[in-house]
Amino acid sequence: MLRPTTSRASFRALVATTCCAVLGAGLLAGAGTASAGQDKGTTTKAAAGSKVVGYFTEWGVYDRNYHVKNIETSGSANKLTHINYSFGNVQGGKCAMGDAYAATDKAYTADQSVDGVADTWDQPLRGNFNQLRKLKKKHPNLKVLWSFGGWTWSGGFTEAAKNPAAFAQSCYDLVENSKWADVFDGIDIDWEYPNACGLTCDTSGRDAYKKLMSAVRSKFGSGNLVTAAIPADASAGGKLDAADYAGAAQYVDWYNPMTYDYFGAWDAKGPTAPHSPLTSYTGIPKDGYNSDATIKKLKGLGIPSNKLLLGIGFYGRGWTGVTQKAPGGTATGPAAGKYEQGIDDYKVLKTKCPANGTVGGTAYAHCGNNWWSYDTPATIATKMNYKNQQGLGGTFFWELSGDTSNGELIKAIN
């Protein structure tokens, strides 16, 4: 799970960043076209493989100093089809605001604003929501979904599962609030994890997820997007077996299987392993912990290829005290990161510890006594070939601020 930078949004929301966990690889077959689902206000169908969904973190406006305007200036807005705004909270079994100041109150000066117009003290909506509204005016085809839950705020889903209709109603009322209804085109559910353990453990039962997603779709209807981040653990008896993801697939426009964070320095002494392997490789620490295994398992459950997006991490995970260049070495603990131990952005790592090896369709780097793994433009290109060969619905990534100021990684996705 991505553990975000500490900030005014608070570490809890930041840790929520790890919402997405696990990347895919392998070369199966069968590309095609499929309906993208009905976006609000349009019935246009997109070809399979065309979606590019990027997470924007609410707390990124603090320590990371990453704002909606950066999506525009980096060129990313021209590459994106959808933005997942993360995260809304889940409290008392209902959808709730995350950081209201960042979302609706923070005032932007002219030079910080997407359109060069400063906020005024008396305007009804400021903050990220108003900046997203301005971004959408510049890019009329861009859609925005509000993501709820994540690593830190998924504990509330257990209570939500007791009354799915009440949960869905609360989410609809919040997302469709008259002050910002035009900002959002749907909802994204990031429950980590149904009937399994994340930061907290859920014991709602295998059918709870299907019932909750059914209620959300019923309330939001066909005119809004409904998507979900789901686990990527394809091991026997793993998280993908804990809930009825196949049964719930009928209620979502697409799934975002978190095909990254398979491995990391939470195993402080290693063995070192790339956090987002596309395919298995000799010596991989766990079976089923690679993107291809995840995609194969989900397809095997009967979930259509066009309802599956391939996940990419715009960050790396690393260890220190490592003498072995190749994967599988021992470590003494997590490598130092700018915001947190064991994790750093691609934009930092490309210079701090340049990639000097590849394994399982992704890159790794050994510099000094540190060992990092992360995707590069070259390995993303390999993953896009896989995505196309599999006929997947597109790509999603965590998260926008990890890319360079000129959007190296999102360009590789395109």
Report d(CA 162, CA 351) in Å as an integer: 49
Does residue 347 sit in helix, strand or coil?
Answer: helix
Integer Cα distance of 182 and 274 in angstroms: 40
Q: Is 192 a catalytic residue?
A: yes
CB 307 within 8 A of CB 250: no
Q: How far apart are CA 307 and CA 293, in angstroms?
A: 16
311, 300 Cβ separation under 8 angstroms: no
How many Cα atoms within 13 Å fall on the side-chain side of residue 291?
38
> Residue 99 to residues 9, 11, 57, 379: CA-CA distances in angstroms?
6, 12, 11, 35
| Beta-strand relationship, 82-91 and 51-57 | parallel
Residue with tokens 């005119």: 223
Catalytic residue (one of 58, 72, 159, 192): 192
Contacts 24+ apart (CB under 8 A), 349-353: 349/315, 349/316, 349/374, 350/376, 350/404, 350/408, 353/318
- Give the whole-angstrom CA distance, residue 23 versus residue 312: 6
State the catalytic residues.
192
